[in-house]
Amino acid sequence: MTPVKLYPPKPDRVYFYGTCLVDLFYPDAGLDGIRLLEREGVAVDFPQDQTCCGQPAYTSGYQDEARAVAAAQLDLFPEPWPIIVPSGSCGGMMRTHYPKLLAGTEHEARAKEVAARVYELTEFLVHVCHLKLEDHGQPEKVAMHTSCSARREMGLAETGPALLAQLDGVELVEQARASECCGFGGTFSVRHPEVSAAMVEDKTQAIEAAGAERFVTSDCGCLMNIAGRFEHQRKAVQGEHIASYLWRRTS
């Protein structure tokens, strides 16, 4: 596996940036991510004033509003610790887009410094913690869905599967067109609901056709979209954030 950046030794302490969807819909995913880090001996600091990363405004064309939201996050991380994000989407916004969004402003230097410390959770567990897992779960066929932002903006198509591959009871099945978007895309699913619905229909059919009993993902937007479609179809395939899945099978 080729790292996408130079990775530091495992630190004693990190910041955890929870994301809106974890906060509002999947708090257990955030807590389980923190538990995974703490089990590796890494202390976790959760800044209480964190809010949205600014991506919804940014991808909808509201640049000024996105700048204001992004700038408000920068002072949450005063210590030089890594910033762990359980989402390739929010992680991609902070690491890839903050420096561009805030270029030419008083926040430019700080945005670059913060961006350099952002890691998606599975990326950090694989490349920094060198996490080794012992599986205690029952045999299960699982499909991995890697979000577009994690795959294309952060270059992290392999970290989730690498963690799942350590679980002896898990058969990781390959869905057709695994790299295709599930159709969520944040505000895309609101602005283009018919297109989004067709895309997630294709995704659920591919996961089911692969024989998966469950799918996991590192992005809660994708989780909500795909799991919601399976529920609408009254299908038995379950969805789970990878942090919760790893914690549940190894604790």
Question: Could you tell me if 98 and 185 lie in one domain?
Answer: no
17/45 Cα distance (integer angstroms): 9
Tokens of 234: 């009254």
Asked whether residue 243 is domain-assigned, the answer is: yes
Question: Could you tell me if 108 and 149 lie in one domain?
Answer: no
Question: Could you tell me if 186 and 110 lie in one domain?
Answer: no
Asked whether residue 132 is domain-assigned, the answer is: no
pTM above threshold 0.85? yes
Question: Could you tell me if 37 and 103 lie in one domain?
Answer: yes
Q: Say whether pLDDT at 1 is over 90.
A: no
Partners of residue 215 on adjacent β-strands: 143, 239
The last residue of a domain, from among 100, 127, 154: 127
Work out how many domains the chain is built from and give that number.
2
**End-to-end distance of the chain based on CA atoms, in angstroms?**
26
- Closest-CA residue to 33 (of 228, 219, 223): 219
- pLDDT given for residue 190 in this prediction: 83
Question: CA separation (Å) from 58 to 83, 85, 187, 193?
Answer: 21, 18, 10, 19
CATH number of the CATH domain containing 48: 3.40.50
Please write the tens of the pLDDT for every residue from 96-105.
Answer: 999 999 999 9
- pLDDT given for residue 6 in this prediction: 85
The chain-wide mean pLDDT, for the chain, equals 95
Least confident of 4-13, 42-51, 173-182, 201-210: 4-13
Question: Could you tell me if 123 and 174 lie in one domain?
Answer: no
Please write the tens of the pLDDT for every residue from 66-92.
Answer: 999 999 999 999 999 999 999 999 999
Percent of the chain with pLDDT over 90: 94
Question: Could you tell me if 122 and 100 lie in one domain?
Answer: yes
Question: CA separation (Å) from 24 to 52, 61, 101, 178?
Answer: 11, 24, 26, 27
Asked whether residue 197 is domain-assigned, the answer is: yes
Residue range(s) defining the domain that contains residue 115: 13-127
Question: Could you tell me if 95 and 193 lie in one domain?
Answer: no
Asked whether residue 43 is domain-assigned, the answer is: yes
Q: Are 28 and 61 in contact (CB under 8 A)?
A: no
Question: Could you tell me if 107 and 157 lie in one domain?
Answer: no
Question: Could you tell me if 245 and 159 lie in one domain?
Answer: yes
9/15 Cα distance (integer angstroms): 16
Question: Could you tell me if 96 and 163 lie in one domain?
Answer: no
Q: Are 243 and 16 in contact (CB under 8 A)?
A: no
Q: What is the enclosing helix (H) or strand (E) of 243? A: helix 242-250
- pLDDT given for residue 2 in this prediction: 45
Please write the tens of the pLDDT for every residue from 181-238.
Answer: 999 987 888 888 899 999 999 999 999 999 999 999 999 999 999 999 999 999 999 9
